[in-house]
Amino acid sequence: MTVDANPLDAKDFKQAMRQCAGAVALVTVGAQHGTRTGLTVTSACSLSDSPPSLIVCVNRNASAHARIREEGAFAINFLHEDHAMLALTFSGQKGVNGDDRFAFGQWTRGVTGAPVLTDAVAAFDCVLAQEFETKTHSIFVGEVRAVSHADAAKPLIYLRSSFHTPQEIRETVTVGDLDSRHLSWTDFS
């Protein structure tokens, strides 16, 4: 087997990744007013339920990166459809930085001290359990100490360079000659 030694063009990689939907979340850190910061990510996901833990990839140039290490705690706040402007604010696109970003949205202090968005689709208050470094990012593993969720909220996702909400597939799906039931995750559990 021969492997092409030429590296993949970053533009091609980014264009392909734009075709993959990602849940939009805010990673927040800072127990005290004036020291809080955060960023918008689509790189957060579940790792395990034993112990309950998540991973998030954070660019080492992000202001929150060093703060997560210092605090040893952070929150991952998954956003809903009404949070698009909040996502843009925490991404830096609105010119608001650091603690000033928390003037938008309703926040409370989690059990770890990290800022938690009160109306998030799901919020996970975590202690930093492990960290892995890559060339540009760190992968932070957070063990969850507290969780909250809003079952009725429609999650915010990012796809093809814009925000969307998921739509449940309700029509009947035919597989060969067999009619399948209406698709719903509850049908599979």
CA geometry: angle 136, 138, 142, nearest 5 deg: 160
139-150: pLDDT as tens digits: 999 999 999 999
As a whole number of angstroms, the distance between CA 121 and CA 150 comes to: 5
Residue 19 pLDDT exceeds 80:
yes
The strand order across the sheet containing 73-78 reads 37-41, 25-29, 73-78, 122-133, 137-149, 52-59, 44-49
As a whole number of angstroms, the distance between CA 48 and CA 62 comes to: 26
CB of 41 within 8 A of CB of 27? yes
> Which domains are seen in the chain, by residue range?
23-164 (2.30.110.10)
44-77: pLDDT as tens digits: 999 999 999 999 999 999 999 999 999 999 999 9
Residue 177 pLDDT exceeds 50:
no
Mean pLDDT for the chain overall = 90
| 161, two tokens | 């360079």
165-174: pLDDT as tens digits: 998 877 766 6
CB of 143 within 8 A of CB of 53? yes
As a whole number of angstroms, the distance between CA 55 and CA 89 comes to: 22
Q: What is the pTM for the complete model shown?
A: 0.86
179-188: pLDDT as tens digits: 454 555 555 5
pLDDT for the residue 157: 97
